[in-house]
Amino acid sequence: MKILFTLCFLFPLAALAQTTLSGKILDDKGEGIPGANVVLEGTYDGGTTDVEGKFQFTTTEQGKHVLVVSFVGYKEYRQAVALEGSPIVVDTRLEETINELEVVTINAGAFTASDASRRTVFKALDIATTAGATADIAGALNTLPGTQKVGESGRLFVRGGDSNETRTFIDGMLVLDAYGPSAPNTPSRGRFLPFMFKGVSFSTGGYSAEYGQALSSVLALDSKDEAAMTRTDIGILSVGADVAHTQAWDGGSMAAKVQYTNIRPYFGLINQRIDWKTAPASIEGIGAFRQKVGKQGMVKVYGNFNHSDYSLYNHDINDYNHLTVYDLVNNYRYLNGFYKTVLNEKWNVRGGLSYTSIENNNWTGLDHTVETQKGAHAKTVFEGSLSDKAELRTGVEVIQRNYDQVNDLNAGQDYTLSFNEVITAGFAEMDLYTSNAFVMQGGLRSEYNSLNKKISIDPRLSLAYKTGKSSQIHFAYGSFRQTAKNELVRIDHQLGAEKAEHFILNYQIMENNRTLRVQGYYKRYRDLVKYVNGDPMQLANTGDGYAKGLEFFWRDNRTVRNLDYWVSYSYLDTQRDYLDSPYRATPSFASAHNFSVVTKYFFTDVRTQLGLTYSYTSGRPYNDPNADTFNGGKTPYYSDLSVNVSYLPKPYIIVHLSCTNVLGRDNIFGYEYSTSPDAQGTFNSRPIRQPAPRFLFLGIFITLSKDKTTNQLPTL
Amino acid sequence: MKLAMFTYRLLVLLTLVLPAAVMAADDKYTETMQKNINIVYTATAPAELQNAVNTLERIGAAEKSKWEPFYYASFGYVMMANKESDASKKDTYLDQATAALAKAQALRPNDSEIVAMEGFIHMIRINVDPATRGQQYSGLATQNFRKAVSLNPENPRALALLAQIQFGTAAFFGSPATEACATNTQALEKFETFKPADALAPRWGKGMAESMKEKCK
């Protein structure tokens, strides 16, 4: 170039031989693209297109060159030009690339939360700051449409599905039993702390062929990448304490946390309906290792162990003074290894290995039961693009589970129920974009189950179309299957998988921090396990059912400064004929109307966030053995107003106070009946209530780091 | 939470106080660069900025060993992000700023000016969604500014940016801005003695420090 420049200087005549290049750069709709960079490759010469997509520039370069037009979101355009002094006109249309920001997305039924992405409806941080959720993942997701609030369980019940129909995956790897142990009819908490995750994808139906063994819903959690800074976090809680340390280095980090929870002092202060002998206490250890490998590779190892125990007195329904001691010791281990690496420009591979071990050691009176479940999951997924408009995802996995229940009964007749299941699966799924406005996803999943020796094939299909700049419509269909509950398979190993088909139609408009989502669905259940002639020891896949509903979601954090709120409403109509149902009936966990409003307001002057959550659930069916109709009873409605306050006295200290059900409503979740009728032939009952009307929590979180401005807020 | 109540918008406008007149050009590279650097420093119209950034990217593509075109292209994108009100477009500009800066970084690893610019991008990221991003990105920005200072304690921009984020944090917590003002004084001292390495070395930021001096009185 310098030589050329010098030549021009030496021969002034040559400098006169200027060439003018001009033209118009349009998009595929024929509209001008402003701001595109037009370059004479290898030179400084070029121009930028104006509002109409026009450009013009002159050059003193001579001979053959290449003109390159580029703009973010479009494919680069290249054309050979011969610069000989006569004007050159280049008019062209740029082809759209499939652009992350503009493209239509597959999202029917899914709420994706990630702080990094700009298209999320729900954020990872929302889990920590939603009042009433007490930083529990399921608690926060229960404020989204598609879920049914089942207060005595604390688990996720999705679109007429039982809680075991929602499966949890961490970095794509299956988790067996994602909830901690809880006393009968008291809510359990998720085992995984929300702060570990950078992304949460909660799908209420129609999910990818990558996920199997889930009938209703998938909760996919993406763990955080390497930590950026070294820090120590201390938490002092009204129910325990925790301490965590993170050590960061270039390209990697290591973190460890120890948490001790003991609710005994709290229950000593605030009267509980449960007659505890010893209230729950647990100790938990968490370790995480992250290391970047090569340019874009990543290895993650995560593990936790948990030991918890409690014991309580069970009072007989007919005679309060007749009581049995119930004692539980639970041990849990989870280890997850994840890797991800780029194979070449177009393909990458990810996968991992997970291992779960659960042991429940339980005494009911003098009967002793030990239930153990050990599972391993291995998976490898290849993802890549076949062309710039077709993406393929394909993988294989093996899920192995070993279940044992050893019953040592006081009256003798000890017995063991066990099974060992291996599921081998493969899947392939393709995304085809015809433009940024239309995408089609088709997939197939095949499984082989070693217990019933059956091969299955399930199709999935999704179509999404962008109806406007920020709105889209989406249809999804899929066939899903899941091995029946352990309690059933341990009795009959030959049982077939239970099946569900989802049909979902969804409309979403998302503009400037406001989101509106409306969806309707129909779900068909087949091959549900049913007792033959009412005998729970004789099982067959003869049950069926359906669920249909309409859901509404509105979120707005723009209209009022410092106020963020969302409103969810779900209507559900579901019936199923399964287990002991004599015919199709609405199951006791299903409620027709679920409504919730979540608000968060930040008071800038006092650096305090106030959160309020209101939830309403219409009455749920229960079965009264004294009545003729199965599941004919109906509980009163459920309602709860929860409040939380977070205050930052210093940049590195957070004080967090929360209270559930501040109004103290006595919610009734159902009724328990005695196993045999009394002298008058009546089955006596008692209501299932909240263990206490309110739950109060106080926590002080301190972070020690080099810059003193980091706090635990993003991790709470 | 709205930890990031700092008025970045105002702050960035203040960085645009014209740097000292540039030295006479000695070749085509320096000449073209100076012209476009001046536009990046002074332009307010997005189209004008886009034009300058495009030219800088062209120069960068032609001059494979120079880090300055990408550094100033990155700065130009930060200015564009700052003027954009649409959240997702703001992010797109910041992504482009990050991509351009990565090219500069590949040519000059561990350079104080480049590391400080990286922190600047993080700081503007907060604006997109202060509630969710405040904590994370203010931490990252602080880290970058501190690293930039340790790489070159004489870099006045790294100190001035660090002072800004310290000032914002102090204002948010209603605590005295003593630390921020001390950092800023240090920055102003360094601006006085700062000797640009060459005609194209970064010169911006003094106005920002001077306006904070007023607030510190």
Task: Please list, in sequence order, all residues whose beta carbon lies within 8 angstroms of the beta carbon of residue A485, skipping any fewer than 6 positions away.
Answer: A164, A529
A11 falls in which pLDDT band (50, 70, 90)? very low
Rounded-to-integer distance, Cα A563 and Cα B211, Å: 32
Q: Mark yes or no for CB contact A51/B47 under 8 Å.
A: yes
> At A497, which helix (H) or strand (E)?
none
Contact A562/B133, CB-based, under 8 Å?
no
Distance CA A220, CA A211 (A): 9
Res A348: pLDDT: 93
List of chain B residues whose C-beta atoms are within 8 Å of the C-beta of residue A37? 54, 57-58
Q: What is the pLDDT along chain B (217 residues), one digit of tens a residue?
A: 333 444 444 444 445 444 444 444 458 899 899 999 999 998 888 889 999 999 999 999 999 899 999 999 999 999 999 888 887 788 889 999 999 999 999 999 999 999 999 999 999 888 777 766 777 788 888 889 999 999 999 999 999 999 998 888 787 777 788 989 999 999 999 999 988 888 899 999 998 899 899 988 8
Model confidence pLDDT, tens digit, residues A432-450: 988 888 899 999 999 999 9
* Token digits of residue A590: 């299903």
Work out the angle at residue A83's Cα, subtended by the Cα atoms of residues A79 and A88, and round it to the nearest 5 degrees. Answer: 65
Q: Say which of A5, A118, A607 has its CB closest to residue B88.
A: A118
Question: What is the Cα B124 distance to its own chain's centre?
Answer: 10
A652 vs A632: CA distance, rounded Å: 54
Number of H helices, E strands in chain A: 6, 40
CATH number (3.40.50.1780, 2.60.40.1120, 3.50.50.60, 3.30.565.10) of A19-93 reads 2.60.40.1120
CA distances for B162 relative to A192, A410, A439, A489, angstroms: 36, 71, 45, 62
Residues of A in contact with B32 (CB under 8 A): 44
| CA angle in degrees (0–180, nearest 5) for B85-B86-B91 | 105
- How far apart are the CA of B96 and the nearest CA of chain A, in angstroms? 9
pLDDT digits (tens, 9 = 90+) for A674-703: 988 988 989 999 999 998 889 889 988 888
Is B62–A1 a contact, with Cβ atoms under 8 angstroms apart?
yes
The answer regarding whether domain A105-705 maps to CATH 2.40.170.20 reads: yes
Q: Buried (b) or exposed (e) across B167-193, using 16+ Cβ within 10 A?
A: bbbbebeeeebebbbebbbbbbebbee
Question: CA-to-CA distance for A305 and B102, rounded, in angstroms?
Answer: 41
pLDDT digits (tens, 9 = 90+) for A594-636: 999 999 998 888 888 899 999 999 999 999 999 989 999 999 9
State the Cα angle at B211 between B210 and B212, rounded to 5°: 90
Q: Residue B58 and residue A44: Cβ atoms within 8 Å?
A: yes
- Name the burial class of residue A257, with classes exposed (0-12), middle (13-18) and buried (19+) by CB atoms within 10 angstroms of its CB: buried
Residue to substitute from A44, A71, A117, A555, interface B, most B β-carbons within 10 A = A44
What number of H helices and E strands is found in chain B?
10, 0
Write out chain A residues lying below 8 Å of B2, CB-based: 562, 602, 604
What strands lie across the sheet with A88-93, from one edge to the other? A54-59, A19-26, A88-93
Identify the bridge partners of residue A202 per DSSP, sorted by sequence position. A111, A219
- Measured CA to CA, the distance from residue A700 to residue A711 in angstroms comes to 11
Query: In this structure, what token pair is assigned to residue A660?
Result: 């559930």
Interface predicted TM-score (ipTM) of this complex, two decimals: 0.82
Chain B closest-CA separation from residue A35 CA (Å): 6
The full DSSP string for A69-116 is: EE-TTB--EEEEEEESSS-EEEEEEPPBP--TTTS----TTEEEEESS
Calculate the CA dihedral of residues B111, B115, B116, B119 and round it to 10 degrees: 180
A-chain CB neighbours of B51 within 8 Å are 48
CA angle A373, A378, A384 (to 5 degrees): 150
Quick one: DSSP state of residue A163?
Answer: G
What residue spans in chain A does CATH classification 2.40.170.20 cover?
105-705
Tokens at residue A616, please? 């309403």
φ, ψ for residue A226, nearest 5 deg: -60, 145
How far apart (Å, rounded) are the C-alpha atoms in residues B117 and B101? 8
Q: Which residues of A touch B131 (CB under 8 A)?
A: 125, 557, 564, 602
Cβ of B133 within 8 Å of Cβ of A115? The answer is yes
Provide the shortest C-alpha distance from residue B184 to chain A (in Å).
17
Whether the per-residue pLDDT at A197 is higher than 90: the answer is no
| Contacts A59 to B, Cβ<8 Å | none
CA distance B141 to A317: 62
The rounded distance, in Å, linking the Cα atoms of A166 and A202 is: 10
**CA Rg value for chain B:** 16
* Distance linking the first and last C-alpha atoms of chain B: 29
Q: What is the pLDDT of residue A16?
A: 55
Section A17-36 average pLDDT: 90
CB-based contact A242:A259 (threshold 8 Å): yes
Residue in B with minimal Cα distance to A51: B47
Chain A residues bordering chain B (beta-carbon distance below 8 Å):
1-2, 5, 34-35, 37, 39, 41-48, 50-51, 72, 101, 115, 118, 123, 125, 228-229, 512-513, 557, 562, 564, 602, 604, 607, 609, 646, 648, 650-651, 706-707, 709-711, 713-714
The first and second tokens of residue B109, run together, are: 């690893």
Chain B: nearest CA to A141, how far in angstroms? Answer: 18
Predicted pLDDT at A106: 66
At B107-157, the pLDDT tens digits run: 999 999 999 999 999 998 887 777 667 777 888 888 899 999 999 999 999
Instruction: Specify the pLDDT at position B3.
Output: 39
Residue A343 scores a pLDDT above 70: yes
The answer to whether A44 contacts B146, with C-beta atoms less than 8 Å apart, is no
> Residue A320 is inside which H or E element, if any?
none
Of residues B21 and A365, which shows the higher confidence score? A365
Q: At what angle do helices B87-107 and B46-62 cross, to 10 degrees?
A: 30
Residue A104 has pLDDT above 70, yes or no: no
Question: What are the chain B neighbours of A39 within 8 Å (beta carbons)?
Answer: 58, 61
- Across the strands, what pairs with A298? A292, A340
In this prediction, residues A248-263 reach a mean pLDDT of 91
Averaged pLDDT, A34-52 = 92
Note whether B58 contacts A48, CB cutoff 8 Å: no
User: Residues spanned by CATH 2.60.40.1120 within chain A?
Assistant: 19-93
Residue type for position A118: R
User: Among A87-101, A443-457, A570-584, B156-170, whose mean pLDDT is lowest?
Assistant: A87-101
pLDDT tens, position by position, A518-550? 999 999 999 999 999 989 999 999 999 999 999
pLDDT score of A119: 53
Query: What separation in angstroms does the CA of A25 have from each of A74, A97, B53, B54, B151?
Result: 11, 15, 18, 15, 44
Residue B76 pLDDT: 95
Of B54, B62, B140, Cβ closest to residue A48: B54
Quote the pLDDT of residue A711.
56
Which string of DSSP letters, residue by residue, matches B121-132?
A: HHHHHHHH-HHH
CA angle A674, A677, A682 (to 5 degrees): 100
B196–chain A nearest CA distance, Å: 25
Closest to A506 measured CA to CA, from A539, A480, A473, A465: A473
Choosing among A2, A7, A37, A711, which should be mutated to test the B contact, i.e. which has the most B CBs within 10 A? Answer: A37
Provide the mean pLDDT of chain A.
89
B184 in Cβ contact with B163 (< 8 Å): yes
